[in-house]
Structure 1
Amino acid sequence: MCNDSINLSKRRRLVSVGILGTKVGMTQFFDEAGLSIPVTVIQVGPCIVTQIKAFSTDGYNAIQVGYKQVVEQKLNKPLLGHLKKSQAPPLKYLREYLVKSTDDFEVSQILSTEIFQVGETINVSSKSIGKGFSGYQKRHHFSRGPMSHGSKNHRQPGSIGAGTTPGRVYPGKNMAGQLGNKKVTIKNLQIVSINAENDLLIVRGAVPGKPGALVKISK
């Protein structure tokens, strides 16, 4: 097997771990044909491997990744002690990823845009924008009631269950409540361009969350 094939297989194992980043915002990108493509700019890493868990000691293989350096006052002492074991700076976010083998990883290893290639597809997860309390039509796309003068059911929910049996409302009923502020995953977003100098990924399409939101990128 040639060196290029070995490096490619190693990079694929690395990208399967997952990496953290920050959503910068949306813009447009012009391809070689001159077409305008809506894209999202993501600040990727750099992430630091803060812990390696092996099957022999922990019962499973996993890699812990840290992201976004902060001042020590924003972290508690147990977390600071945990990070100092791996000689890592104070990091705000820690995520753990299961892996088949930990041979390709080491503590204090830096993960950034070098594990990606233009044209690859990735999955991006983030918390959607919270929109506050919303009604049935906006939150669950219910149809409205009659708009005639005698109708008193324009935007009301209608019946929410039987009376005698079961005599209660089942949990999870689609009703009015908070809209947004939930974890959303967008799959198969194509990488249009990579700015390695500034650790930026430019992906085609929209990514959930507002600018500055934490995003998780996985293969």
Structure 2
Amino acid sequence: MPLKAPLNWGLLPPSFLLPSSTRSLIPLIPLSSHLPKPSHTTIRTIKSTNTPRPDRFAHHPKKPALNSTSTAALARKAHSTPLRTGLLAVKRGMTAVFDPESGKRTPCTVLQLDRNQVIAHKTREKNGYYAVQVGAGERMAWNVSKPMLGHFAAAAVSPKRWVVEFKVRGEEGLKVGVGEGLGAAWFTPGQWVDVRGVSRGMGFAGGMKRHGFSGQPASHGQSLMHRGMGSAGGSQGSGSRVLPGKRMAGNMGNERVTVKNLKVLQVDEANGIVVVTGCVPGPKNQIIRVQDAIGKPWPKGPMSTREIVPPSIAPAVAEAVATAA
């Protein structure tokens, strides 16, 4: 057993606690050298029976290294970060595509790319992450702030209406140079994409329309509460309050929505048209972010503008590849 610290027994109390008649006798008392010196002040308290939990941030040689660094955070997100940048498109409307062989009708949305150009690169060393800043559209110079005019001038691009960042996994996603333009050929027919946009705002809506509540009974005796929400919270059992996150009536729509795993049906490089299956959030002329789907295998698409094959020579290239094979 380890040695215990000596107790403070046998020691004289402090002089200010002694009466005045005894203070004069303190110098006459012989002090023996074997008396222990006071080591600590004993504090009476309640000893807890629960052992303290180990600090998860304390380093121990038997434990693995901590993963709370920014580098480890990027590594954890690598599996869900696309390899290359996405593009900005404008929603033009919905239509349908018919399969000539089976006659199957597939609803689809037409997206048009509007002068997408790379404005800047974000690097791990300078910004803490890898991303490609893409601008689309056009805006008059007098309607752009001076800092943004300088930002566009440094990239040698015209003022853009929309500026968006697309995160990429690493440096291989920065192969598209600053100032280069990207068109519809950036996507290939048959690949999967994720689209993001702001949904159509529908104003203030009740609980039945906004959240699909069933409402109150429509029988006799129900007084003007047919479409009412009902109870908003319990009494003593839930603290006599409305719990956070309670679904109530409020503003419906006008929020960012992501639609995953839409298949690219057609690509028209000359007109900048990309046709995807299904519906896309937002009204017509809404700006949409289009990027490679996270939940599907990464497409074998181009990583730079030099790898994009122009549509005019695409059949010849395909024939040459088939001949070589």
Q: TM-score category by the smaller chain?
A: 0.7 to 0.9
TM-fit CA distance, 1:36 = 2.4
Measure, in 2, the Cα distance between the counterparts of 1:169 and 1:73.
50
The aligned counterpart of 1:8 is none
2:156 is aligned with 1:87: yes
Measure, in 2, the Cα distance between the counterparts of 1:39 and 1:134.
28
TM-fit CA distance, 1:167 = 3.1
Q: Which stretch of structure 1 is more off in the superposition, 23-32 or 166-175?
A: 166-175
The aligned counterpart of 2:121 is 52
Render the CA deviation track for 1:140-172: whole Å, top value 9, x for unaligned: 011121112211231111111123452332332
Which AA in structure 2 matches 1:156? G
Measure, in 2, the Cα distance between the counterparts of 1:131 and 1:175.
15
Residue ranges of structure 1 left out of the alignment (5+ in a row):
1-12
Q: Which stretch of structure 1 is more off in the superposition, 110-119 or 95-104?
A: 95-104
- The structure having more radius of gyration, on CA atoms, is 2
What are the equivalent positions in structure 2 for 1:164-203 lying under 5 Å apart?
A: 164=236, 165-203=238-276
Measure, in 2, the Cα distance between the counterparts of 1:84 and 1:111.
19
Structure with the higher strand share, 1 or 2: 1
2:226 is aligned with 1:154: yes
TM-fit CA distance, 1:91 = 0.6
Render the CA deviation track for 1:33-66: whole Å, top value 9, x for unaligned: 2332211100024311101122333333221111
Residues 167 and 75 (structure 1), Cα distance of their counterparts in 2 relative to 1, 3 Å cut: farther
Aligned length: 207
Indicate the percent of aligned positions where both proteins have the same amino acid: 36
CA RMSD of aligned residues (A): 1.9
TM-fit CA distance, 1:132 = 1.1
| 1:105 aligns with one of 176, 185, 199 | 176
TM-fit CA distance, 1:14 = 8.9
- Asked if 2 retains the 8 angstrom alpha-carbon contact of 1:15 and 1:115, the reply is no
What are the equivalent positions in structure 2 for 1:15-164 lying under 5 Å apart?
A: 16-33=84-101, 34-99=103-168, 100-101=170-171, 103-152=174-223, 153-164=225-236
TM-fit CA distance, 1:75 = 1.7
Which AA in structure 2 matches 1:111? L
Q: Which stretch of structure 1 is more off in the superposition, 183-192 or 47-56?
A: 47-56
Q: Which stretch of structure 1 is more off in the superposition, 180-189 or 162-171?
A: 162-171
- Asked if 1 retains the 8 angstrom alpha-carbon contact of 2:91 and 2:286, the reply is yes
Q: Which stretch of structure 1 is more off in the superposition, 36-45 or 191-200?
A: 36-45
- Asked if 2 retains the 8 angstrom alpha-carbon contact of 1:39 and 1:205, the reply is yes
Which AA in structure 2 matches 1:39? C
Render the CA deviation track for 1:6-32: whole Å, top value 9, x for unaligned: xxxxxxx99731111100001121223
TM-score by length of 2: 0.60
- SS at structure 2 position matched to 1:91: coil
The aligned counterpart of 2:35 is none
Residue ranges of structure 2 left out of the alignment (5+ in a row):
1-80, 293-325
Higher relative contact order (CA 8 A, sep 6+): 1
TM-fit CA distance, 1:103 = 4.8
- SS at structure 1 position matched to 2:94: strand
Measure, in 2, the Cα distance between the counterparts of 1:14 and 1:128.
23
Render the CA deviation track for 1:164-189: whole Å, top value 9, x for unaligned: 45233233210001111111111111
